Amino acid sequence: MYYSRFLVPVVAFFSTTLAVPHPANLPRQSRPDNHTLNRERADAVKAAFTYAWDGYYKYAFPNDELHPITNSFSNSRNGWGASAVDAFSTALVMQIQPIVTEILNYIPTIDFDHTSSQVSLFETTIRYLGGMLSGYDFLTGPLANLASNATAVPLILKQAQRLADNLAYAFDTPTGIPSNNLNFPNGTDGSTTNGIATIGTLVLEWTHLSDLTGNQKYAELSQKGESYLLSPKPASSEPWPGLIGTNVDINTGLFQDAEGGWVGGDDSFYEYLIKMYVYDSTKYASYRDRWILAADSSIAHLASHPSTRPDLTFLAMFNGQERLFVSEHLACFDGGSFLLGGLVLKEQKYIDFGLALVNGCHDTYVSTLTGIGPEVFRWVENGTSPTDADNPPPSADQAAFYKTAGFYITNGNYILRPEVIESFYYAFRATGDQIYRDWAWNAFVAINSTCAVGSGFAELQNVNAPNGGGYNDFQDSFLFAEVLKYSYLIHAPDNVWQVEHSGVNEWVFNTEAHPFKVNGPPI
Ligand SMILES: *[C@@H]1O[C@H](CO)[C@@H](O)[C@H](O)[C@H]1NC(C)=O
Ligand SMILES: *[C@@H]1O[C@H](CO)[C@@H](O)[C@H](O)[C@H]1NC(C)=O
Ligand SMILES: *[C@@H]1O[C@H](CO)[C@@H](O)[C@H](O)[C@H]1NC(C)=O
Ligand SMILES: *[C@@H]1O[C@H](CO)[C@@H](O)[C@H](O)[C@H]1NC(C)=O
Ligand SMILES: *[C@@H]1O[C@H](CO)[C@@H](O)[C@H](O)[C@H]1NC(C)=O
């Protein structure tokens, strides 16, 4: 069992938290660990990974992603083999030598100098750069025994550096805030703004590249862009301390709005504030302080309880100080972020709040016909005016669903996203409570039984229709990087790369779930 260092004993922890205002959402009693059961579950997830890899390798490799129904492929991520690079760190933690070897031998052959399509600085950083740096950390560290080709290992870091060198002109703007949409070798799409997620989700990868290569250029470029997010201007773009707008002018550094939340477009900016502190607590205390401001403001101003289910907690979005009762599958990483913050800052209030958020996102899974949560959902609070155009009540056909579920669905797609299972993983690592393993297992079984089709996993059109309402023939690379990694790690034996291993974090996961070895003393 992996109790957090300051939550022992777990029973006492639960009895304390039962005093908080939303008790029904907190986990039930801890149950004894069953090693046989956990091994069987970990093996079943590994089997699903191997099945999806085999389909991709047969019909799509070295293209970006598999179309599992038609056994064809596409290149939505520049044709550099996104699924292979994204699968790398998962194959490593699962210790599947043949797949590790295939990817290890492939990476040195990628031509990162050329592509026929627009390059996203953000997506390329989190998937390709993240995947390669993580693989390099493992193969030069605790999984060196899987380095079947010693010549290829240093070439992984070389490829990461080559890719970053090709991307670096993105930062060549009047402020140093990068352009996101690039046309290689030196053009952009001409946008004059960029968003806080795409600006603020580079620092971990680019700083780690500097620490591995000894060339500080990459860290400096990414941290210059980030500096405008840490001190946002004008003041009106920060409606509550730490909570900031979304779009920033890359020529002036000024925010263009005061609209945001923990949702897509903003999400991993907040995620990386605390993760930079985990990565090196001796250097990034200022990031930690911004996370604390955002976390405290979120508890004070964004925490919201649906009118029909006061036991549930979701985070609202905001526009200025107006709150919008809408959230997303993407935003369900929030529970995990509060839990990680609570662990490393030793603050029980963040653990408690994180578990409440995890419980709310669990509800979005168990309330639907498929047992999988929707892409976008809404709710209203007691006292929300029925004529509030920004916070409309559910339509008549969703009224009954809203009454029992506490949310209603405005986009029912499921595109193989990981965030709910990701937060279950943090909840388990923080509390040691088997209930979170059961929740993750149930989610995995639902995904495996509803999305598996043809040679892999496909997206669903409606999580609240029988069989998911039909498929979209697309298997995004993050199925490999994230869904199957978190589904596996929650049941897997303890190891140094696991969150809160022996009471500290020796590794930190990038937003694509690629684990990096931390640079500072583990906290
Ligand atoms: C552990 O799980 C296995 C199923 O994998 C089950 O057969 C066994 O009874 C469980 N043991 C306990 C003590 O619950
Ligand atoms: C090992 O890696 C080197 C460098 O990328 C490559 O030239 C060689 O072909 C690889 N070996 C195998 C067996 O693939
Ligand atoms: C951009 O790249 C093109 C094609 O390689 C080249 O002709 C052009 O001179 C470059 N422009 C700049 C400003 O570097
Ligand atoms: C909303 O009001 C109803 C009726 O007064 C009450 O039962 C419910 O607990 C309230 N919900 C919240 C979130 O306060
Ligand atoms: C996952 O689905 C496959 C069929 O696609 C099935 O063979 C396997 O048993 C399923 N795994 C679990 C754990 O349900």
Unique residue bearing structure tokens 């640079």: 519
For residue 105, give the ligand 2 atom closest to its CA: 14
For residue 34, the model assigns a pLDDT of 87
Mean pLDDT along residues 449-453: 98
Amino acid of residue 157: L
For residue 2, the model assigns a pLDDT of 30
339-to-110, 222, 241 alpha-carbon distances in Å? 37, 26, 20
Residue 214, both tokens: 């000894």
Residue 505 lies inside a defined structural domain of this protein: yes
What does DSSP assign to residue 475? B
To the query of whether residue 220 is one of the catalytic residues in this protein, the response is: no
pLDDT at 177 over 60: yes
Rounded to whole angstroms, how far apart are CA atoms 234 and 222? 21
214: left (phi over 0), alpha (psi -120 to 50) or beta: left
Residue 104 lies inside a defined structural domain of this protein: yes
Q: Which structural domain, as residue segments, surrounds residue 185?
A: 7-17+35-517
For residue 33, the model assigns a pLDDT of 79
**Percent of the chain predicted with pLDDT > 70:** 94
Ligand 3: lining residues by beta carbon, under 6 Å? 185-186
Residue 6, both tokens: 């300051």
What does DSSP assign to residue 114? -
What average pLDDT does the chain have? 94
pLDDT at 65 over 60: yes
To the query of whether residue 422 is one of the catalytic residues in this protein, the response is: no
Q: Any residues with CB less than 8 A from the CB of 170 and at least 6 apart, and which?
A: 121, 178, 179, 180, 182, 188
For residue 308, the model assigns a pLDDT of 98
CATH, residue 299:
1.50.10.10
Mean pLDDT along residues 102-126: 98
Q: 3-state DSSP: the chain helix, strand, coil percent, rounded to 5? A: 50, 10, 40
**Its pTM surpasses 0.85:** yes
For residue 30, the model assigns a pLDDT of 54
**pLDDT tens per residue across span 312-334:** 999 999 999 999 999 999 999 99
Could you say which of 86, 102, 123, 422 is catalytic? 123
Residue 472 DSSP SS3:
strand
To the query of whether residue 40 is one of the catalytic residues in this protein, the response is: no
User: Which of 37, 43, 49, 448, when mutated, tests ligand 5's pocket best, judged by the most ligand atoms within 8 Å of its CB?
Assistant: 448
- Structure confidence at residue 13 as a pLDDT band (50, 70, 90): very low
For residue 381, give the ligand 4 atom closest to its CA: 13
Mean pLDDT along residues 166-180: 98
What does DSSP assign to residue 342? H
Residue 205 lies inside a defined structural domain of this protein: yes
Give the least confident one: 12-16, 154-158, 220-224: 12-16
Q: 385 CB less than 6 Å from ligand 1?
A: no
For residue 163, the model assigns a pLDDT of 99
Could you say which of 226, 271, 375, 500 is catalytic? 375
CA angle, residues 511, 512, 517, in degrees to nearest 5:
75
Mean pLDDT along residues 352-376: 98
- Phi, then psi, of 355 in degrees rounded to 5: -65, -35
To the query of whether residue 381 is one of the catalytic residues in this protein, the response is: no
pLDDT at 236 over 60: yes
For residue 6, the model assigns a pLDDT of 34
Q: Any residues with CB less than 8 A from the CB of 282 and at least 6 apart, and which?
A: 520, 521
Residue 455 lies inside a defined structural domain of this protein: yes
- Asked whether 122 and 201 are in contact (CB, 8 A), the reply is yes
SS3 for 419-487, per residue?
HHHHHHHHHHHHHCCHHHHHHHHHHHHHHHHHHEECCEECEECCCCCHHHHCEECCECCHHHHHHHHHH
Which residues are bridge partners to 65 per DSSP? 74
pLDDT at 8 over 70: no
Domain count within the chain: 1
- Asked whether 98 and 152 are in contact (CB, 8 A), the reply is no
140 is in an annotated binding site: no
Residue 489, both tokens: 């790690």
Q: Which residue has the higher pLDDT, 318 or 5?
A: 318
CA angle, residues 352, 356, 360, in degrees to nearest 5:
170
